[in-house]
Amino acid sequence: MGPPALLLLFLLLGDCEGSSLHSLKYFYTGVSEPNQGLPQFIAVGYVDGQLFVQYDSNTRKTEPRAPWIEKVEEEDPWYQEQSTEMFKNSEQLFRENLVILGNRYNQSGGFHSLQEMLGCELTEDGSKGGHWQFAYDGRDYIALDKETLTWTAACPKAQITKEKWEKDPTLAQRRKDYLEEICIEWLQRYLDYGKERLLRRDRPVGKVTRKEGYDGRETLVCQAYGFYPKEIDVTWRKEGEVWQEGTFHRSVAPYPDRTYHAWLSIEIDPKERDLYRCHVDHASLGEPLVLAWEAPASNLVLIIGCVIVALLIVTWVAGAWFYIKNRQEGYKAASRSKPAI
């Protein structure tokens, strides 16, 4: 079973074109009661957007979701047992916190959810980043500010949690240490274990399509697909200058084959179409792809081409027929001229 839709939304939209080169992220979700097949607790882990581990309250064990996890278990035979124990403790804590929050919000029943989202990033220049935040019923609740070692309450009820947690100054410090040290260490280990998949570089394939708009305008859509890693820079340029006006619908999304797809559209005056170029820059490219809209071949050209091919085929068939006929007639004449025995 995959992660809940809300977690997928956070994963896909949280850093569509972030500057981080590599990331390790965990998403925990607890609900007050099972709902449409969703377990009461589920935890998933991602390296560079690739699911690698999962735990839920139905199986109550850590399940690998990437083949390279076997290498981790070979080096550390206790890995699965320790991670299972960690997730079980989180499950129990989530159940208790859902009861606390239900009482705090005077909720006597119904479906409610608590989410915890944490992770670290390692950028190309070696700098480290991280986040640790919670949401209740799909809304921001509280988040760590690791620079000030304080907690930011997103709603009045979260103020109670903020005051409680800040009574112990070491709580925020331990979270920061985890994000900047332990999390980064594990990220680097996972990248080494799964380097064949995680450190590969797949070149993007690009194309520009066109569709008519309103009021004499038109939209050019620049697409890049089949690339990995996720980070990519797609821009529209007019006469060589980056052009932001009229651009919209920028997104980066995963494909089932573990590559990514990105697109960026721009609304333009058709008279200026030849002035626009799409630039696609990616780690797998020596030079950016420069793409422009190209008109498809006209039907007349295709028809003429088909007619020429048909005539060539007819000519070849006719020539072959005459050749065979002449050979047969020559063979029969020679046979009749031979003397009888």
Whole-model pTM: value is 0.74
In a domain, 297, yes or no: no
Residues 20, 163, single domain; the answer is yes
| pLDDT for position 20 | 54
pLDDT at position 1 over 80 = no
pLDDT in tens, 193-249: 999 999 999 999 999 999 987 788 999 999 999 999 989 999 999 999 999 888 887
Last residue in a domain, options 198, 226, 241: 198
In a domain, 92, yes or no: yes
Residues 246, 140, single domain; the answer is no
Q: Is 93 helix (H, G, I), strand (E, B) or coil?
A: helix
| φ, ψ at 105 (rounded to 5°) | -95, 10
Contact 268, 254 (CB under 8 A): no
Between the CA of residue 256 and those of 197, 280, 315, what are the distances in Å?
A: 14, 22, 49
Mean pLDDT to the nearest integer, 152-170? 97
| pLDDT for position 241 | 93
Residues 150, 226, single domain; the answer is no
Burial category of 102 from C-beta neighbours within 10 Å (exposed 0-12, middle 13-18, buried 19 and up): middle
Contact 72, 189 (CB under 8 A): yes
Alpha-carbon Rg for the chain, nearest whole angstrom, is: 31
Residues 213, 284, single domain; the answer is yes
Q: Among all chains, which residue has been given the structure tokens 């690739």?
A: 50
Range of 95's domain? 5-198
Residues 182, 39, single domain; the answer is yes
| pLDDT for position 13 | 38
Last residue in a domain, options 269, 291, 313: 291
The Cα–Cα gap between 76 and 267 comes to 55
Task: Point out the least confidently predicted range of 27-31, 139-143, 305-309.
Answer: 305-309
The Cα–Cα gap between 94 and 57 comes to 11
Sequence-distant (6+) residues with CB within 8 A of 21 are 121, 122, 123, 124, 229, 231
**How sure is the predictor about 340, in pLDDT bands with cuts at 50, 70 and 90?**
very low
Tokens of 268: 């333009």
Give just the sign of the alpha carbon dihedral 286, 227, 278, 290: positive
Residues 125, 25, single domain; the answer is yes
In a domain, 300, yes or no: no
The Cα–Cα gap between 203 and 280 comes to 11
Tokens of 218: 């038109």
CATH of the domain at 285: 2.60.40.10
Residues 44, 122, single domain; the answer is yes
Residues 228, 112, single domain; the answer is no
Count of other CB atoms within 10 angstroms of residue 137? 15
In a domain, 302, yes or no: no
Last residue in a domain, options 147, 166, 198: 198
pLDDT in tens, 251-294: 899 888 889 999 999 999 999 999 999 999 999 999 999 999 99
Residues 11, 121, single domain; the answer is yes
Sequence-distant (6+) residues with CB within 8 A of 204 are 224, 225, 226, 227, 232, 262, 280, 282, 284, 285, 289
In a domain, 313, yes or no: no
Q: Identify any residues that bridge with 265 across adjacent strands, giving them in sequence order.
A: 221, 248
| pLDDT for position 126 | 85
**How sure is the predictor about 143, in pLDDT bands with cuts at 50, 70 and 90?**
very high
In a domain, 219, yes or no: yes
The Cα–Cα gap between 118 and 46 comes to 11
Q: Among all chains, which residue has been given the structure tokens 């980070």?
A: 231
Mean pLDDT to the nearest integer, 152-158? 97
CATH of the domain at 67: 3.30.500.10
Residues 78, 194, single domain; the answer is yes
Percentage of the chain exceeding pLDDT 70: 81
In a domain, 88, yes or no: yes
Domain count, the chain: 2
Q: Is 108 helix (H, G, I), strand (E, B) or coil?
A: coil
Residues 11, 98, single domain; the answer is yes
Contact 45, 52 (CB under 8 A): yes
Angle at 86 between CA 83 and CA 91, to 5 degrees: 125
The Cα–Cα gap between 172 and 195 comes to 32
The Cα–Cα gap between 315 and 322 comes to 11
In a domain, 339, yes or no: no
The Cα–Cα gap between 98 and 94 comes to 6
Residues 133, 263, single domain; the answer is no
